[in-house]
Amino acid sequence: MTNPSILTNDTHSSQTNRSSRTATLVIVAHPDLEHSRINRRLAEELERRGNVTVHRLYEAYPDEKIDIASEQALLMAHDRVVLQFPFFWYSSPSLLKKWMDEVFEFGWAHGPGGVKLNGKELIIAISSGGSPSMYQAGGFHNYSYSELLRPFQQTANLTGMVYRSPFVIGRIREVSDEQLEKYAAEYADYVEGEKALSGTTSA
């Protein structure tokens, strides 16, 4: 059994208590969140604590018509951004890609005058059916999670964001209820900035 990969690279919305905390926005992008055991539980734990803004993208935009101005204002109101999604074909679900394409506009997020995201933190949180051992040279998927997430890291570089270590839960079909509770707590602690990630753990 594999615990969350802690990789060292270094609204349906809940209201945020920002008194002494970094204002954190979590974009949850799962096309069927109601039936997702892992991603639903992670989002529920964040909402239960109430210290971050949880934005469920597929619920906000069932027609996929994104309100760019509203999303940009949401980003501007937060200093840490978390993109939480299932790892589909080595990338994100389509609506999250569309969201990034439209919201991270030239002249706003990058290019001349595009400095609105400068200095904000970016964390990628993914769930995966495979184990970390499959994501390495010579493994089934050939490349590590860190390597496959490089487009997100480069997006952070281009927009002047600070890329933090990704949070990864692998072998999702084998995660017990007890393990899931542990992972949800670890995830919320990391997102809230209470704890740093320290390596990859497995059992």
CA distance 148 to 153: 10
Half-sphere exposure of 148 (CA within 13 A, CB side): 20
Residues whose CB falls within 8 Å of the CB of residue 59, separated by 6 or more in sequence, listed in order: 12, 33
Residues whose CB falls within 8 Å of the CB of residue 197, separated by 6 or more in sequence, listed in order: 6, 7, 8, 165, 167, 190
Burial status of residue 114 (CB atoms within 10 A of its CB: 0-12, 13-18, 19 or more):
middle
CA distance 25 to 117: 13
Tens of pLDDT, residues 182-199:
999 999 999 998 776 644
Tens of pLDDT, residues 48-100:
998 999 999 999 999 999 999 999 999 999 999 999 999 999 999 999 999 99
Residue 203 has pLDDT above 70, yes or no: no
CA distance 127 to 131: 10
CA distance 172 to 199: 19
Q: Find out whether 93 and 32 touch, Cβ atoms under 8 Å.
A: no
Six-digit token string for 21: 């905390």
CA distance 114 to 160: 9
Tens of pLDDT, residues 2-49:
444 433 333 444 443 433 578 999 999 999 999 999 999 999 999 999
Tens of pLDDT, residues 134-177:
999 988 999 999 999 999 999 999 999 999 999 999 999 999 99
Global pTM reads: 0.87
